[in-house]
A and B are shown apart, each in its own frame.
Chain A
Amino acid sequence: EVQLVESGGGIVQPGGSLRLSCAASGFTFSDYWMHWVRQAPGKGLVWVSRINSDGSGAVYADSVKGRFTVSRDNAKTTLYLQMNTLRAEDTAVYYCARASHYYMDVWGKGATVTVSS
């Protein structure tokens, strides 16, 4: 079964850091680009970042550029999102998603990040 499982969410103070993980299984992880998408409480989906299949290239939404870093370990079939200098507006459920061409065909259940003092 193709599966993505996020972990690492929690409560962090403004200005703090957190690293999310996304464990992939059931498919050849190293063949796929991967995305992070977030959803603030009661709000819509917002694309955050994409990394290519070998980890050599990544792009980010303007709102997180310079603060978030996406990476992957293909040997561990795991995707990461390092989030630094967190702000209240980063509070959201963070989903990892598999990229198939230009769309997202498999999604994890999400990890909740709360930025609050």
Chain B
Amino acid sequence: QSALTQPASVSGSPGQSITISCTGPSSDVGGYDYGYDYVSWYQQHPGKAPKLLIFDVTQRPSGVSNRFSGSKSGNTASLTISGLQAEDEADYYCCSYPSGTTWVFGGGTKVTVL
């Protein structure tokens, strides 16, 4: 149950785009042999509960801003925040379902809006 690797911090100015990577063994982020993709992303503001941002690599729940988007290439998933806003300053976590029975989170990335 190794953790997924994320950069500790990413920063950007208001209006810019930033990308957070999430890398793991191909068996984790790469997904099942069947080709399903189970990477999700969560946003957490200080002292608050996590909030689902992206599921199934690219899907956005209703109510989540379209400034947030997800993608994957090989064993690296990515979360892009476009048009960075002050309210986006938070911690972000990726999560995968590598083994078919257990889940694993990334170490988290602190996003700072300059």
- A residues near B (Cβ < 8 Å) are 35, 37, 44-47, 50, 59-62, 95, 97, 100-105, 107-110
A-side contacts of B106, CB under 8 Å: 44
- B residues near A (Cβ < 8 Å) are 1, 3, 38, 40, 42, 44, 48-52, 55-56, 61, 91, 93, 95, 97, 101-108
B22 CB to nearest chain A CB (Å): 12
Q: B93 to A45, Cβ gap below 8 A?
A: yes
B35 CB to nearest chain A CB (Å): 14
B43 CB to nearest chain A CB (Å): 11
Please list 12 pairs of residues, one from A and one from B, whose beta carbons are closer than 8 Å in the complex, sorted by A's number: A35-B103, A44-B106, A44-B108, A45-B44, A45-B93, A47-B95, A47-B104, A60-B102, A95-B49, A95-B50, A105-B52, A105-B61
Q: A110 to B49, Cβ gap below 8 A?
A: yes
Bound-complex Cα distance A50 to B49 (A)? 18
B-side contacts of A109, CB under 8 Å: 48-49
Q: B1 to A103, Cβ gap below 8 A?
A: no
